[in-house]
Amino acid sequence: MDDLHKLKLLAQGLVLNADVGRGTGALGAVAELREDEDEAYFSSYGHYSIHEEMLKDTVRTESYRDFMYLNPEVFKDKVVLDVGCGTGILSMFAARAGAKMVIGVDQSEIIYQAMDIVRSNQLQDRVTLIKGRIEEVKLPVEKVDIIISEWMGYFLLFESMLDSVLYARDLYLAEGGSVYPDRCTISLAAVGDTEKHQGRIAFWDDVYGFKMACMKRAVVPEAVVQVLKPDTLISKPAVIQVYTHTHTRYIERKKVTEIYWAIVGYFDIFFDRDCGNKVVFSTGPQVTKTHWKQTVFLLENPIPVQAGEELQGRITVRKNKKDPRSLFITFDLHDMKQTYSLQ
């Protein structure tokens, strides 16, 4: 089969519970940021509307709740660390699931509201909240049994909060302890939304009678976060497992002759380890929407494909050195190489 009709997606991942890199030698770029350099990020989480949006995301919040409430044996008499605790909702779930001590850490101003919330629910004897970056605070214990965190950003990795979770894991997680969620996947699929392409890319060919095609080069590299209609997907997804080694997957066509105008990315989250009642949720377009929506990578030039073809290529994800919480995502597709920014 012609390689021009294949898209093989390759990415590097990691296992949150792997016994690797213990200690501070594996600090990521975000962990190295000074507080003043990261002030805008933490200030954004001081706005109550962000927390309201996350709490009202029932797919997200109820999945965390169900994982803890349906697996009390995992939390019974355990010491739990909640990284980026926000309003303290996960900390309180953990306490009610049976944890003997929960420590929540957050650098944003929302921590003060969280303290009032914990007291309002008479959980102050089991839930301790600390303001500060996890890389800088001193916990009241040397080790914890469990780390919980809702660290995921757009396209899973945006915001790079995972760096902080891994830092906490390497420094505070006891031998045999667990990090939750413990497994994640990123999926990519081809999109055949002609209307979307016309509105976003082809639009610049004729703008009120003027040629503005040069704008395409500025517009295309911007990844778009939005909710896609499920019927715009024209392929089965390529699932990239988050493991310590590289996995290769293929996007497999599921319809007859089509033209694909974009690639969509989304992620799935799993609570598996030691859980009698496993919980999973997806941010894909086929299921109930979440506040993460999906991430769309538009192609300047659409690519025709045939039923049964495999679309081959390569994806590379890296941090923006100037802003480590944002991402550069590069696709090698056919004879095209395009880098997108997600910020």
Q: Which residues are catalytic?
A: 150, 159
Tokens 């003043």 map to which residue?
A: 36
Helix (H) or strand (E) holding 79: strand 79-83
Q: Do the Cβ atoms of 182 and 18 come closer than 8 Å?
A: no
- Residue among 15, 78, 67 nearest 276 (CA): 67
At 128, list the tokens.
């301790």
Round to whole Å and give the CA distance between 189 and 232: 10
Peptide bond preceding 285: is omega within 30 degrees of 0, i.e. cis? Answer: no
Instruction: Tell me the C-alpha distance between 75 and 282, whole Å.
Output: 24
Give the largest Cα separation in the chain, rounded.
Answer: 70
CB atoms within 10 A of CB 308: 12
Residue recorded with tokens 């780390």: 147
Residue 222 DSSP SS3 = strand
Neighbours of 343 (CB within 10 A): 14
Is beta strand 79-83 parallel, antiparallel or unpaired with respect to 101-106? Answer: parallel
Write the CA distances from 232 to 151, 155, 196, 340, integer angstroms: 29, 19, 10, 21
Rounded distance between C-alpha atoms, residue 208 and residue 119, angstroms: 60
Cβ count near 7 (within 10 Å): 30
Amino acid at residue number 236? K
Q: How many other CB atoms sit within 10 Å of the CB of residue 262?
A: 22
Q: Are strands 310-311 and 313-320 parallel, antiparallel or unpaired?
A: unpaired
3-state secondary structure of 193: coil
Strands 238-241 and 247-253: unpaired
